Amino acid sequence: MKTDENKSQQILETDDPLDIRKDFIFKAVFTKETPYAKQALSKFVSALIGRTITIVSLWANEPPAENAEDRQLRFDINCRAENGERINVEMGFNPRPYEPVRLEFHICKLFAGQNIKGRKKNFRHLKKTYQISILSKRIFFDDKDFFHSFEYFDPVRQVSLKGKTEIIILELIKVKKFSEKNIDEMNVPELWAYYFEYLTDKSKRSIINQITEKDEGIYMANEVLLSISRDEAERMEVYSREKYELDRQSEMSYEWWRGKRKGKLEGKRERDFEIVRNALAKGYSVESIQELTGLEPKDILKIRSSS
């Protein structure tokens, strides 16, 4: 498929490719202002939904600052296909345990956000909507399959509602279950999942290069990723974003710890006050209460004066 002129798109031994499983790098690859980026996204989505589509417009959404706790799950790519179908694509490097229900919530919002107002529109004009999530670091479903597609159906009678929403989830942690396959035996979603999971693994570099040669969409995505990874300015921008994310998470973690500690201290203070009040009511001396609680005499006297 490729010629000697394109050897630069092979991942070289000296390369240090950025980890595409990190959501802001994933977003950077598929939304970069190059012809390959949008084509790669179209081919990736087509591989997962099982038919060819062309992405004609996209928006790289980022969360408002107040949602810092979920920032890693909010760098999504909202797309519209040429037939009007809506697709939301996101990478979750470290998804929360409640991820499946979060996806259900957001696909409902995306589906219901379509405009069918007006005398010439009705529910028949709603376009199919997809939520595509690639999840790492956590197993969500108790089977060996890395690929799941969810639609509404009657689980007892196995009857589909034939609705227009679909949630597609790739669990990258399960890639190792088929990682020993020959790449010629892998289907296209498996090739993409293998690429995402093992891109930065130097021991898999030869296989990754074979995969980029085998699939045109992955080749395009890899070309964009390498251009970012090899450009010092773009790489520093990614590092700055990663630093910002880590600083935000650290700040939130500290604030949570401080609030929890404060709550514990306030709770202990209330318990101490209750003990002192009860002990005073029973006629215990200040010295006895000090020995019992460890409080300073002045604090005990202050509680007595406020009772």
Phi, psi dihedral angles at 292 (to 5 degrees): -75, -40
Give the integer Cα–Cα distance in Å for 66 and 71: 9
User: What does R_g of the chain's alpha carbons equal in angstroms?
Assistant: 27
Q: What is the mean pLDDT of each run of 10 residues along the chain (307 residues)?
A: 53 93 90 92 97 87 44 68 95 90 94 89 93 95 95 94 96 95 96 98 96 96 95 84 69 61 68 81 78 79 79
Question: For residue 173, what are the contacts with CB-CB under 8 A and spacing of at least 6?
Answer: 135, 136, 137, 138, 139
pLDDT at 300: 84
Q: What's the pTM?
A: 0.75
Give the integer Cα–Cα distance in Å for 236 and 233: 5
Q: What angle do CA 70, 72, 74 make, to 5 degrees?
A: 70
Question: Helix, strand, or coil here: 164?
Answer: coil
Residue linked to tokens 């989830």? 169
DSSP count for the chain of H helices, then E strands: 9, 8
Residues above pLDDT 70, as percent of the chain: 84
pLDDT at 70: 41
